[in-house]
Amino acid sequence: MVLERIRRHVAHPLYAAALTAAWATGASPHRLRGARLQDLTPDGDELALPRTASPGPGPVARHGARETFRIPAPLRSTLLAAASYRRLADAGPGARFFTALHADRLSALAAACGLRVPA
């Protein structure tokens, strides 16, 4: 199962969640970078992502169109754990969910798990 491979090969909660989100949504790391903590529902059953890729570090545009994805039940705990991790770092709801996400690092982790993530 994919989730077991992610848990076995990815120790950091944000990268595990980013890889899980990329696999569940088909979103690129650049698009995931635009996700905010408030974009994950409290139950972890939905994640909203910007329709376009985020250009990089800095504030996320609040007026852009977003697309909502259903998160399968077995994957929710990984996303909820990462959200809790971010909140422990005093991140507010408008803060980026996947801070400092590097596409090359996520691709390397995906390869270690036998997965592919969109470029």
Fill in the amino acid letter for 48: A
pLDDT in tens, 78-109: 999 999 999 898 778 788 998 878 888 888 99
Residues contacting residue 52 through CB under 8 Å, at least 6 positions apart: 31, 34, 64
pLDDT in tens, 13-22: 999 999 999 9
pLDDT in tens, 55-78: 555 444 444 688 999 999 999 999
Q: Dihedrals φ, ψ of 73, to 5°?
A: -50, -45
Q: Dihedrals φ, ψ of 53, to 5°?
A: -70, 145
